[in-house]
């Protein structure tokens, strides 16, 4: 693609995904690369690009954008239901998430630059104010991509920390999963019973000869289970 690709989410069409680009979210046909734009959150901020995204229980697209240079606090979070675009959660140079709790009562967002994971209560169609759940000390690196399992525990990637930490919903460390590369970027559950954890890492600024473990996809079998994914339907017709 001619633009950075930040996320790819399933739709009812096997060969079509919702993809996040610098220019916004679009329906991407994997057969020929054709794109149909869905939404561009902030065209007046040319230095921004989309980052992480997911489909919520409400069928809407939830995502964040960020400053591509990772310097200006111009990134924020959005909800798009096919018609209305709603921004929420304050601003940050680098955002990650959002990720919902299994019961749909809350939503987790990550301010990667400031090292904070926050929770927003979801009730009556409203997005609550962000409440800090976890703050990373400097030696942990930065919180990056995350997912939740069926018990409501958070699995958070440490960018610059070489690990994934499983936190309780109250922000307590439950376990630490070492990763061979220090730049751990994203994780998600998959497999037949959703107990397989897939982990992405970055090669950024690393010489492959000196850091052969960097930039690879890793697979770990766990004793936990993730939550089933959802497909995006708005704007398909």
- Residues that are catalytic: 144
Q: Can you point out the beta strands (E) in the chain?
A: 7-10, 16-21, 24-29, 35-39, 48-55, 61-67, 75-80, 85-92, 95-100, 106-111, 116-123, 126-127, 131-135, 142-148, 154-159, 163-167, 173-178, 184-190, 196-201, 217-221
CA distance 206 to 147: 26
Q: Report if pTM > 0.85.
A: yes
Average pLDDT for 68-92: 95
Burial class from Cβ neighbours inside 10 Å (0-12, 13-18, 19+) for residue 46 reads exposed
Average pLDDT for 95-100: 95
Q: Do you find a cis peptide bond into 150, omega within 30 degrees of 0? A: no
Average pLDDT for 211-234: 95
Examine the pLDDT at 235 and tell me if it is beyond 80. no
pLDDT score at 229? 87
SS3 call for 166: strand
pLDDT score at 236? 79
The domains of the chain, with CATH numbers, are 7-221 (2.120.10.30)
| Mean pLDDT, rounded, of the chain | 95
Please identify which residue in the block is written with the tokens 């959002």.
98
Percent of the chain with pLDDT over 90: 89
CA distance 65 to 48: 6
Examine the pLDDT at 213 and tell me if it is beyond 90. yes
Place 124 in a pLDDT band, splitting at 50, 70 and 90. Answer: confident
């Amino acid at each position: 693609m001619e633009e950075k690709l930040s996320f790819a989410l399933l739709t009812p069409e096997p060969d079509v995904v919702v993809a996040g680009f610098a220019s916004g979210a679009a329906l991407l046909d994997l057969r020929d690369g054709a794109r149909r734009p869905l939404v561009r959150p902030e065209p007046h901020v040319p230095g921004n690009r989309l980052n992480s995204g997911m489909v919520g229980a409400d069928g809407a697209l939830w995502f964040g954008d960020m400053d591509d240079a990772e310097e200006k606090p111009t990134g924020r979070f959005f909800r798009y239901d096919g018609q209305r675009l709603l921004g929420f959660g304050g601003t940050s140079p680098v955002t990650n998430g959002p990720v919902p709790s299994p019961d749909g009562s809350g939503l987790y967002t990550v301010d990667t630059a400031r090292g904070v994971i926050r929770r927003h209560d979801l009730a009556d169609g409203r997005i609550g104010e962000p409440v800090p759940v976890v703050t990373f000390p400097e030696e942990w690196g930065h919180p990056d991509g995350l997912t939740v399992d069926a018990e409501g525990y958070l699995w958070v990637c440490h960018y610059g920390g070489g690990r994934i930490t499983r936190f309780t919903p109250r922000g307590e460390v439950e376990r630490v999963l070492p990763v061979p590369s220090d730049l751990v970027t994203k994780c998600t559950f998959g497999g037949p019973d959703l107990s397989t954890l897939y982990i992405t890492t970055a090669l950024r600024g690393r010489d492959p000869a000196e850091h052969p473990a960097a930039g690879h996809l890793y697979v770990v079998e766990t004793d936990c289970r993730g939550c089933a994914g959802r497909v995006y339907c708005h704007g398909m017709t």
